[in-house]
Amino acid sequence: MKKCMNRYIYRFIKVSLILSLVVSLAACSGSRKAVRQPIKEQGDVFLMSKLKEHEFKFHQFSAKFNVTYQVNREKTSVSGNLRIKNDSIIWISISPALGIEAVRFMLTPDSIKYINRLSKTYLVKDFAYINHLINKTMDYNMAQAFLIGNDFSFYDSSSFKASIDNQEYKLSTINRRKLRRYVRRSEEDISIPIQSIWLDSESFKISKVLLKEAERDSRKFVAKYAEFENIDKELIPTRLDFLVETNTEKIRIKISYSKIQIDQDQTYPFTIPDNYSEITDLQQKK
């Protein structure tokens, strides 16, 4: 049982990090109004300004979550708590059963920290480990944006092309690069080969994001957002659906948020007990 649970937890952590971890709902958001007339095509500058204007703005965010994830045909579910301090910390506590914490995970712009209470092990790495884990270059800002349904904050937005797709606005670009002033010394040159963003035509909230490599039959990542709730005058998606596809593997993560709180005082505890053993890789066995 412990080995099985450890395997599930490892997969959840790995896929959550993908968010690059970390991840498709066919239904539209229940809170959105139906489009009553044909939408008019708008320019990319107008649409990007509306996207930024209507993004979720916060200092601190917390929510309970339920996650169902599937790797090819193998599926499992876990629940837990998520806390985010904007641009600083992503803190996740995972409780597979009976509300008992099994894993605690903390991501910062510089590091990843992980505790497994089942195996009494821990891992501390710099952020580059995430890129090694997923074989892809990403950063903290991407991970945070995917979890709350925002666009990437520190990336060039001047090269998008605007169109209309299925009664939603669509913004598309290639080779979107991180702005040089935000590139950290330890980071490689980060760029997004192909990206498309779909916006609801009334709320201008992101309903879907596609990231794709340029090569034929290359992997792609799709994020979909639905069931937006108005909380403290902010529209927040409560249903997230992530899909990662490669030539050999399909990973699906469905997340539902509940008990959302915005800008409430909260802590991000992460203490490693003295009797825990350090591991060097999430796949390492004690």
Residue 109: CATH number of its domain:
2.50.20.10
Range(s) of the domain holding residue 88: 2-272
List beta partners, residue 221: 211, 244
Tokens matching residue 117: 């209470």
Residue 66 lies in a domain: yes
Question: What is the value of pTM for the model shown?
Answer: 0.84
* Average pLDDT score over residue span 6-24: 45
Q: Does 31 score more than 70 pLDDT?
A: no
Q: What is the pLDDT of residues 170-209, one digit of tens each?
A: 999 999 998 888 887 666 667 889 999 999 999 999 999 9
Percent of the chain with pLDDT over 70: 82
Q: What is the pLDDT of residues 256-282, one digit of tens each?
A: 999 999 999 999 999 999 999 999 987
Top pLDDT among 256 and 283 is at 256
Type of residue found at 19 = L
Q: Three-class SS of residue 99? A: coil
Residue 238 lies in a domain: yes
Cβ neighbours for 78, distance < 8 A, ≥ 6 positions apart: 8, 9, 12, 66, 67, 94, 95, 96
Phi, psi of 202 (to 5 degrees): -110, -45
Phi, psi of 65 (to 5 degrees): -140, 150
Tokens matching residue 285: 């066995």
> What's residue 44's pLDDT?
94
**How many structural domains comprise the chain?**
1
Q: What is the pLDDT of residues 90-145, one digit of tens each?
A: 999 998 767 789 999 999 999 999 999 999 999 999 988 887 777 677 789 999 99
